[in-house]
Amino acid sequence: MTTRHKRQRRLWRALSGVAAVSILALLATQVVTQSEAQSCGAGHRTVAAASSQQYVVAVSAAHAGNPEAMIEVAQMYRDGLGVERDLVVAHAWLKLASQKGASAHFAHTISTCLSKDQMRLADAKVLALLQEEDDETW
């Protein structure tokens, strides 16, 4: 075997190792992305009928100022139960609930799933909800 062939073999082995590492890194990234999606509630699908009735009851109580109901509404938006899944609105309800003194253990999880623009939208939604409360339109 010539020196040239030996160099080509070494190069091929090195490139094969890099490719294997790259593939493993890509697979690990996909696993992390899937677990983050699961933690954000992406594994759930919108449920009809009974959950939508539960949503109406929960959102009424949330608009009445009940912080636990606000957390329940946030969970429904996070998971898409009885309502279309919307992490921005879920985060807004959680922020409002925290301003009312409640603590939600999954608030940080949702915030890590949102972009800076989505966080700004959530803040604007909180302000809109607070304005509704001040106008006594609830």
**pLDDT over 80 (residue 12):** no
**What percent of the chain lies above the pLDDT cut of 70?**
64
Helices 67-79, 50-63: inter-axial angle, 10-degree rounding: 140
Q: How far is CA 29 from CA 16, 21, 40, 41, 129, in A?
A: 20, 12, 16, 18, 37
Question: Does residue 55 contact residue 75 with C-beta atoms inside 8 Å?
Answer: no
How many C-beta atoms lie closer than 10 Å to residue 109's C-beta?
15
Q: The tokens of 107 are what?
A: 């608030």
Instruction: Give pairs for 65-70: CB < 8 Å, separation 24+.
Output: 65/100, 65/133, 65/138, 67/97, 67/100, 67/101, 67/102, 68/97, 68/102, 70/94, 70/96, 70/97, 70/100, 70/102
Using 50, 70 and 90 to split pLDDT, how confident is the model at 92? very high
Q: The tokens of 102 are what?
A: 């409640």
pTM for the predicted model, two decimal places: 0.61
pLDDT at 131: 82
Q: What would the pLDDT profile of 39-55 be if each residue is shown by its tens digit?
A: 565 544 444 445 788 88
pLDDT at 104: 72
Q: What does the mean pLDDT of the chain come to?
A: 74
Question: Is the alpha carbon torsion for 90, 93, 95, 100 positive or negative?
Answer: negative
pLDDT at 8: 67
**Residue 66 region by backbone torsions, left for phi larger than 0, else alpha for psi between -120 and 50, else beta:** beta
